[in-house]
């Protein structure tokens, strides 16, 4: 049975001191929680600080980006091996801010995923359409292309280790989340692709998260949305109280549910 995953993506926010305080509060608030897996993705500068606090708890450490090479002359980049060395479990790849602001394309994203799998780190692959693409009716086509190109050439057991995150670009940081029907529609399409590649049982085990204006107020609804296996939370993960409420909503909604088909 898969456990839901809630990831806090802090983006480019916070000093080490702020990261220490926020992590401490989240750690305390999640205590012995076992029903939800929680991961924190601080900026690179705070990874080590957060790692120290998470060492003995249940919370996981995640990074927001990675380079695909193991080492070399790549000024400003961080390798998968370096992230593993710090204790990272997950790495976010293909976030829309990376795609749109830093021009990362599907080929680059595929290389990063392959490198993470080689290093035994769990990629969290973000996909999502722009508002223009949604309005044109091309959402499913865009998502399918993003998923398929990122998975190209990967072995089945590698694909099974990837967490998927549907983050519609128009919902990120806008306060306007996708509605349950829109989310289920896209998540089901991703699941169909995975079934085609991995077979039904393995595809069902893959987690597909939703991200985009997830907040304490809508977390209950999102947790109850079919095909949502967790959340990727941006702004609302920067306040411990709100983030903990999101986690609790997820825990409440999922407790006792059979997740097997």
Would you name the residues annotated as active-site residues? 95, 167
The 8-class DSSP code of residue 137 comes to T
Structure-block tokens of residue 5: 């995953």
Residue span binding ligand 13P (CB under 6 A) among the ranges 31-39, 82-90, 208-216, 219-227: 208-216
Give the 3-state secondary structure of 95-116. Answer: CHHHHHHCCCCHHHHHHHHHHH
Residue span binding ligand 13P (CB under 6 A) among the ranges 16-24, 136-144, 151-159, 229-237: 229-237
Q: Using CB under 6 A as the criterion, what x/- string covers residues 157-196 for binding ligand 13P? A: ----------x----xx-----------------------
Handedness of CA 85, 86, 88, 92 (dihedral sign): negative
Residue span binding ligand 13P (CB under 6 A) among the ranges 67-75, 130-138, 182-190, 234-242: 234-242
Q: Using CB under 6 A as the criterion, what x/- string covers residues 53-92 for binding ligand 13P? A: ----------------------------------------
Contact call for residue 125 and ligand 13P (CB under 6 A): no
Exposure string over 59-94, b if 16+ CB within 10 A, otherwise e: bbbbbbbbbbeeeeeeeeebbbebbbeeebbbbbbb
Contact call for residue 220 and ligand 13P (CB under 6 A): no
- Please give the Cα distance from 171 to 175 (Å, whole number): 7
The 8-class DSSP code of residue 33 comes to -
Contact call for residue 216 and ligand 13P (CB under 6 A): no
């Amino acid at each position: 049975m898969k456990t839901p995953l809630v990831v806090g993506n802090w983006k480019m926010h916070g000093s080490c001191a702020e990261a220490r305080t926020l992590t401490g509060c989240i750690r305390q608030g999640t205590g012995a929680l076992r029903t939800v897996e929680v991961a924190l993705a601080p900026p690179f500068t705070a990874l080590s600080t957060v790692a120290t606090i998470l060492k003995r708890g249940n919370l996981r450490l995640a990074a927001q980006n990675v380079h695909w090479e193991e080492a070399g002359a790549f000024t400003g980049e961080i390798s998968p091996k370096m992230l593993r060395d710090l204790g990272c479990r997950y790495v976010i790849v293909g976030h829309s801010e990376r795609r749109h602001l830093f021009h990362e394309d599907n080929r680059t994203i595929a290389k990063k995923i392959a490198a993470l799998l080689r290093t035994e780190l769990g990629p969290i692959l973000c996909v999502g359409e722009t508002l223009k693409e949604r309005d044109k009716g091309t959402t499913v086509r865009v998502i399918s292309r993003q998923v398929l190109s990122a998975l190209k050439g990967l072995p089945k057991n590698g694909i099974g280790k990837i967490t998927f995150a549907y983050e519609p670009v128009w919902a990120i940081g806008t306060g306007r989340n996708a509605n349950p029907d829109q989310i289920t529609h896209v998540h089901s399409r991703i699941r169909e692709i995975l079934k085609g590649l991995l077979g039904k049982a393995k595809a069902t085990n893959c987690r597909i998260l939703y991200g985009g204006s997830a907040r304490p107020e809508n977390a209950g609804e999102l947790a109850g949305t079919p095909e949502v296996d967790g959340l990727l939370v941006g702004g609302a993960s920067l306040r411990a109280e709100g983030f903990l409420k999101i986690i609790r909503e997820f825990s409440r909604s999922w407790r006792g549910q059979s997740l097997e088909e």
